[in-house]
A and B are shown apart, each in its own frame.
Chain A
Amino acid sequence: MDDIITRRGFLSLAAAGGTLSGWLGRLAAQAADESQAKSCILLWMSGGPSHLDTFDLKPEASDKIRGEFRPINTSVPGIQISEHFPKFARLMQHAALLRSMSTVESDHQLASYHVHTGYQKRAGGVAFPSLGAIVSRELGERDFPLPSFVCIGAGPRHATRSGFLGPDHQPLDVTHADRGTDFVEPLTGRNEFNRQYELLRRFDLPFQEMYRAESARAHWSALDRAVRLMSSEQKGAFDLSQESDADRDRYGRGSFGQGCLMARRLVETGVRFVEVLMGDGVGWDTHRDNFPRTRALSAEADLGMAALIEDLRDRGRLDSTLVIWMGEFGRSPQITSGGGRNHWARAWSSVLAGGGIRGGQVVGRTDQGATEVVERPINVTDFLGTVCTILGIDYTRPNRAPGVERPIPIVDTSKKVAVVSELL
């Protein structure tokens, strides 16, 4: 019983009272020393942001295509982006714009799944792991008390699951960053919890010994890891009240900004992959009123991602943390009568920052109307192969899925994968 409550972490947490920035800093330093392993933060723009109104503006195109926003200069001469990303524009030297994303799915669900897993979803087929689960599996450490994959935000999560990599790599979901993670505190006091956990152990022992089931062992492994998280000091990373008001304001007080802040705290404690979902409900799916909505969404995204990149840089973590900004596709160049744009998968943009990449560059190019990719097309496997390479993961390594005879490589290598080597 005592091994739960007298865990050093729990006591020091209690002793530290409300001011925990000290231990967070200490853990961060430790984590940085221990390895060169990288982390990744995926800023997921649910709904599919318009590439023409964010990072691939076409000021020369016709009224029906160009839209309302003006391009602005960035910290890198020659690179321009939307006027509604002014803070990020000053950090352009750390980032690369991939303007030649070109994918095949144009349905939200199917596209989200494809971009997250690298495989197209098939009925009754293999359940493929998402990028977060892959990174958790490849870079996560077994004895780390937090899950290696955390998913923050209230959006749909069907594309973020661990699939055949199983429960160890399932993300821990935080639906509201403000509230922290759910169910991490016992419903009773600590002592009562420890007592009933000990009771559980004693009562379940005869069943385990008699039936010797692998599933019973897996149940206990999950129980023990959950209890370990409950008593770990790292769980403080979920508590944003430990940040000053000024710092919280810098990220924007909306759910996305606060999610970015939590992502930074989690990565600093050693979580390998954090996905921050932006856009509960329709999000960037601007079939109507594209311009006012994209303006507001851009402002929120700009605040969160700029504060995140800046903080990572100032804290010496940017080179080991890859930040990805992307959605499931772009939007149609032609503006509709309702002032909206429809789905567009053939040509769109994503952004990478940090992670030791060569920043300050644009990769690929679309045609005059941002309709087609004319230079350096990047499909889903090229993209994920590139991300894995940046993170130091061999994307050709095969996995075994239960019930499937053929090995399944992390990224589908049945067609040639063209890693974006300009970034490396």
Chain B
Amino acid sequence: MWQTPTVLPVLTGLLISLVCLAMNAAAEDDAAALAELIDRHIQAPLDAEGLERVPPADDAEFMRRVYLDLHGVVPSAERATRFLDTSDAQKRSQLIDELLASPSFGEHFGDVWRKRLISPLASEQRLQTERFSDWLAGRFNNNDGWDRIVFDLVTATGKIDENPAVTYLIEGRHPLGVTDLTDLSSRYFLGVRLNCAQCHDHPQVAWKRSDYWGMAAFFAQIQTPGRPKKVYQAGVQDDPKMTLASLVEADMIEGYQSVPPTFLGGEALQADAHGSHRAALAHWITSSENPYFARAAVNRMWWHFFARGIVNPVDDMHTGNLPSHPELLELLSRRFAESGFDLKFLCRAILNSRTYQQTSRPGKQADAEARLFARMSIKVLSAEQLYDSLVAILGPPGKVPGIDTRLGARSEFCQFFAGDGDPDPKSYERGIPHLLRLMNSPQFAGQNVAALVSRVVAPGRSTDEAVEKLFVTILTRRPTPTEQQLARDHLRDADASPQTAYRELAWALLMSSEFSLNH
């Protein structure tokens, strides 16, 4: 008798996994097909302008880039060597799948979205944002649809301990909470900047002051009563009695207008709508009918990889600010919505495109190439990418007088090295204080560099091999013959012990512009 009670579930399970596998394969095919469409949409304007694409990035450039973009850190020397030495034609798409499947994917995007969604008004004492990043990381790793994640953020209730998603609604709330949430939600979920319309009708754009306050009104039911600390004890709850008219210290808020909740574009909330105003807003935002939601997510993700949106500035999408590639934006938005707002699908399609895999080395017309995506942009490592990469290469940071790590070494480092606001990833924002610290602080330029050298200069390894290992570890690439020769000369001529000479070499690679950038 084969039909024992245990076999059936096993078989069913097997069947389900087979179906899943087939669906996965289909999704991958879809992504590959979409990648080709991306390339075609990018190619057309290039042909029209007679502009040539630059050559593809070599394996090393591609690998470092895709690691930094998806995991926020450079790969280990071992992983890099394995990748560089494989001749499998599919190795790039396999690497993309491997990185998307790793928990580091969600952790990196959780980190990136935490920085966006937590208001800069949040004071350091109030920052309880680690758990918020973890919550986001879990959702990203679970590949929950972006519509579901956003719905849960906008409608979150309860205390931070019970539901970390409410952090979005709590941090930095007082006293501008309602206006803050209006700015952040429209900027990051809808790709529009409403903040100018807070005080006056926008001159070039359709947004009116009433549009701004109409959206703000949806958040009025969760306004903080009294002192800001109370919101931590009470958590977030909707109080149906609250409206914009009951806003605390409303006369202190610039441009204040008391209007009923109105969706962007002019449709007022039905008077008989039941449920909280936030739930109505969340349904409207994440609906596949919403004209902004999918486009905003696609443009933001495209910007994440290319440091340039299909619409620029990335969060200022309106009728007077047209996309450079309108059909591409429409296509990606439609396919993204059809996929169930599947972020990994969107990433997979973009990353498998030839457009993403081009080198960032400029050809004949550097600016035009960048504008039309004929080559990859060069991004500056974010503070987080820099810290995580230094730790990956050198191990834990050294303890240093003058660096106060009571709030955690990583968070101190990131605060010190981060630019203000929502910086342009192409723009280098570091100055004298940052470079002094990188060059001369034992946090990452002291004992840990010496320790790296001791690991690299292993017995039985030739000079050339050791130098190669150092390059792969720090720059994710092998040295050129010229660089090998330079290194040999340095090791021979330096008036110092081999250990010191290697340490100087490692220091030089760590301080290089190549290391500071994601090219």
Contact = CB atoms under 8 A, between A and B. Distances in A.
Contact of B519 (A120, A127, A162, A211): A211
B70 interface: no
Interface string B143-180: 00000000000000000000000000000101110011
B167 to A, nearest CB: 14
Given A183-B441, A226-B439, A123 B180 contact: yes
B121 A179 contact: no
A246 interface: no
A226 B432 contact: yes
Contacts of B494: 195
Of the four ranges (under 10, 10 to 19, 20 to 34, 35 or more), the interface on chain A belongs to 35 or more
Interface string B442-463: 1001100000000000000000
Interface string A161-185: 1111011111111011001001111
Interface residues of B, number: 76
A363 interface: no
A207 B514 contact: yes
A167 B428 contact: yes
Interface stretch (B30-38, B328-336, B418-426): B418-426
Interface stretch (B105-113, B218-226, B295-303, B359-367): B359-367
Contacts of B519: 211, 213
User: Which of A175, A216, A229 is the most central at the interface, judged by chain B CB atoms within 10 Å of its CB?
Assistant: A216
Contacts of B315: 124
Contact of B496 (A110, A192, A200): A192
Nearest to A169: B431
Interface in A292-316: none
B131 interface: no
B78 to A, nearest CB: 23
Interface stretch (B40-48, B83-91, B270-278, B504-512): B504-512
Nearest to A129: B420
B4 interface: no
Contacts of A403: 313, 424
B434 A187 contact: no
B513 interface: yes
A170 B431 contact: yes
A208 B378 CA distance: 12
Contacts of A223: 435, 439, 511
Contact of A183 (B204, B429, B437): B437
A223 B433 CA distance: 10
A203 B121 contact: no
B496 A172 contact: no
Contacts of B432: 147, 167, 170, 172, 222, 225-226, 229
Contact of B513 (A162, A164, A219): A219
A216 B517 contact: yes
Interface stretch (B281-289, B346-354, B482-490): B482-490
Contacts of A185: 440
B402 A179 contact: yes
B104 to A, nearest CB: 25
Interface string A181-219: 011111100001001100110111011101111111011
Contact of A125 (B195, B404, B437, B511): B195
A225 to B, nearest CB: 5
Contact of A206 (B121, B429, B441, B480): B480
B7 interface: no
A222 B188 CA distance: 32
Given A123-B183, A124-B184, A109 B123 contact: yes
B420 A164 contact: yes
A294 to B, nearest CB: 23
B492 interface: no
Given A212-B366, A213-B519, A199 B505 contact: yes
A126 interface: yes
A110 B361 CA distance: 43
Contacts of A107: 174-175, 228
B313 A215 contact: no
B6 to A, nearest CB: 55
A211 B439 contact: no
A156 interface: yes
A98 to B, nearest CB: 22
A186 B429 contact: no
Given A126-B421, A219-B428, A196 B504 contact: yes
A223 B440 CA distance: 12
B119 interface: yes
A182 B228 CA distance: 37
Contact of A167 (B401, B430, B504): B430
A179 B404 CA distance: 14
Nearest to B378: A213
Contacts of B188: 124
A416 B429 CA distance: 34
Contacts of B361: 210-211
B72 to A, nearest CB: 18
Given A199-B490, A207-B513, A215-B517, A186 B504 contact: no
A230 interface: yes
B53 interface: no
Interface in A80-139: 104, 107-110, 120-127
A229 B437 CA distance: 13
Given A179-B401, A213-B517, 8 more contacts: A109-B121, A123-B176, A124-B422, A167-B429, A182-B437, A202-B486, A206-B483, A214-B428
Interface of B: 116, 119-121, 123-124, 172, 174-176, 179-180, 183-184, 187-188, 195, 204, 228, 252, 254, 313, 315, 360-362, 366, 378, 380, 401-404, 419-422, 424, 426-437, 439-442, 445-446, 480, 482-483, 486, 490, 494, 496, 500, 504-505, 507-509, 511-514, 516-517, 519
26 contacts: A121-B121, A122-B195, A123-B120, A123-B176, A126-B421, A161-B420, A163-B420, A167-B419, A167-B429, A167-B434, A172-B432, A179-B401, A182-B402, A192-B504, A199-B505, A203-B509, A204-B512, A206-B480, A206-B483, A207-B513, A211-B361, A214-B426, A219-B428, A222-B431, A222-B432, A222-B434
- Sorted from nearest, which 9 A-B pairs have the closest CB atoms? A167-B431, A127-B420, A127-B421, A218-B428, A216-B513, A226-B435, A200-B508, A182-B402, A196-B504
